[in-house]
Amino acid sequence: MPDGIDVDYDGLIPNNVGLNADARVRKALETWHPGYIDWWQDRGPDGFQDALVYLRTAISVDAQGWAKFGFVRMPEYKWGILLAPAVEGRRIGFGRHKGDPAWQDVPGEYRAMLRRLLVIQGDTEPASVEQQRHLGATAPSLYDLRNLFQVNVEEGRHLWAMVYLLQKYFGADGREEAEELLRRRSGDQDTPRMLGAFNEATPDWLSFFMFTTFTDRDGKMQLEALAQSGFDPLSRTCRFMLTEEAHHMFVGESGVGRIIARTCQAMKAAGIEDAEDVGAVRRLGVIDLPLIQRKINLHFSLTLDLFGNEISTNAANAFNAGLKGRFREHTLTDDHQLLNDTYPVLRLVDGAVVKQDVPALSALNMRLRDDFVDDVRGGITRWNNVIAKSGIAYRLALPHVGFNRRIGEFSRARIDPLGNILDAESWQGRRDAFLPTAADGDFLHALMQPVRVPGAFAGWIAPPRIGIDNRPGDFEYVKIHE
């Protein structure tokens, strides 16, 4: 029996949950395993399956030194079941069961709600791998290629995490859902993934970095909320997933930052001060800042949709039931039940954006979204610092939360990035100033040429300041031909 910290690598499935002693779940996972490998080969990274990739693998789940780095062929990656260590005597921290011992089994009355939370969370994990499967062909460096694959294998592991919970706690129904997670396909007309943003293409590396900045940060917020769960196995699972998710956002934010740095450097070198002189900037082979702004507009708005309706019964139910808390619930100082509280929500009333106080329980999606916006704003500031340091007069900004929305209050209106409501005609007229155009896509597509020489980088992105695992600049992170 493992001690819950170290990972048991003896069996087919590495784990710290005592899988060897749990024949039923082990059998279910072993039955699921070949389908997963098939999925990975079929819908995971296109090519590179035999390459040796310098990946980190979890060997224990404590905060220090949980990962070890080494060269791995991706299909042989040690995907497994890793939960953060159990907290002795953990109690439910919020909702109507606040103060009760955390559940170690699924309470019957919350079966449907929990299952839905797990399936939706689970569906996003393989989806992003599918969305990113063609990016290997155009990686701007071996460093970036390795980061892509690290993100991919960890999203794969997050799928394992959700599948474990489904199979262990939801019987035949859970096994069926676990199979379905392998059958849905991002962007497929017949079997799409469940959430809209996960059916959008990730066609180029700027999109990838934006996705990992914004959409993976939504993932972080959702995991933070689920890490508070009174259903202890879910809480422990999500706490460990969060340690992995942090790297994904690092990849995104630093990736965009490196693109900005390279653009500013090239502009300065060529004596271009006007960021809006797009033609001149693009002739330098770098990505103009206004296009980066348009990509921010797109990915930010798509990601906000993932938070769902501002006023949500499901979110209220899940909180009251003690299944999904708020961002860092344990650090908040209110009564953690919210029965008499209100929360301000931006709403569209009679054609105007107004702030309304609504019962706090029903505004939990809005609250998590606000926390997300705060969180993501720090990244924008850091990007702007890069521009400011170069001396170029340009500032990136988050668009208004009502901009380009398909879900929630603002889906009924056309709102520009500054928050002004537009009629359909003005929207159409100015759309190309707000969102990436087909021409932008063509430009990026042409720019994306693979660079596979150790230590070399494509001309549109700066090298990182330090290597992964402190490796030197010319380290061969991916050995494509062994």
| Residues lying near other proteins in the complex (CB under 8 A) | 96, 112-113, 115-116, 180, 183-184, 189-192, 194, 309, 313, 315-317, 319-321, 338-339, 359, 361-362, 364
Q: How far is the CB of 222 from other proteins (least distance, A)?
A: 18
Q: Which is nearer to other proteins, 173 or 432 (CB)?
A: 173
Distance of closest approach, residue 174 Cβ to other proteins, in angstroms? 12
Question: How far apart are CB 412 and other proteins at their closest, in Å?
Answer: 8
How many Å apart are CA 210 and CA 317, to the nearest integer?
A: 32
**120 or 422: CB nearest other proteins:** 120
For 66, list phi and psi in degrees, rounded to 5: -80, -15
Q: How far is the CB of 39 from other proteins (least distance, A)?
A: 14
Rounded to 5 degrees, what are φ and ψ at 381?
Answer: -60, -45
Q: State the Cα–Cα distance between residues 346 and 366, nearest whole angstrom.
A: 9
**Closer of 64 and 189 to other proteins (Cβ):** 189
**Shortest spacing between CB 411 and other proteins, in angstroms:** 10
- Overall size of the chain counted in residues: 482
For other proteins, the closer CB: 10 or 176: 176
Q: Which two tokens stand for residue 87?
A: 């907290």
The DSSP 8-state label assigned to residue 357 in this structure reads E
Identify which of residues 88 and 190 has a Cβ nearer to other proteins in the complex: 190
Residue nearer to other proteins on the CB measure, 118 or 256:
118
CB 398 within 8 A of CB 303: no
User: Which residues, listed in sequence order, are joined to residue 482 by a DSSP beta bridge?
Assistant: none
Angle between helices 23-43 and 142-169 (to 10 degrees): 150
- Structural Rg of the chain based on CA atoms: 23
**Per-residue b or e along 432-469, where b marks 16 or more CB atoms closer than 10 Å to that residue's CB:** eebbbeeebeebbeebbeebeebeebbebbbbbeebbe
Task: Supply the minimum distance, in Å, between the C-beta of residue 137 and other proteins.
Answer: 27
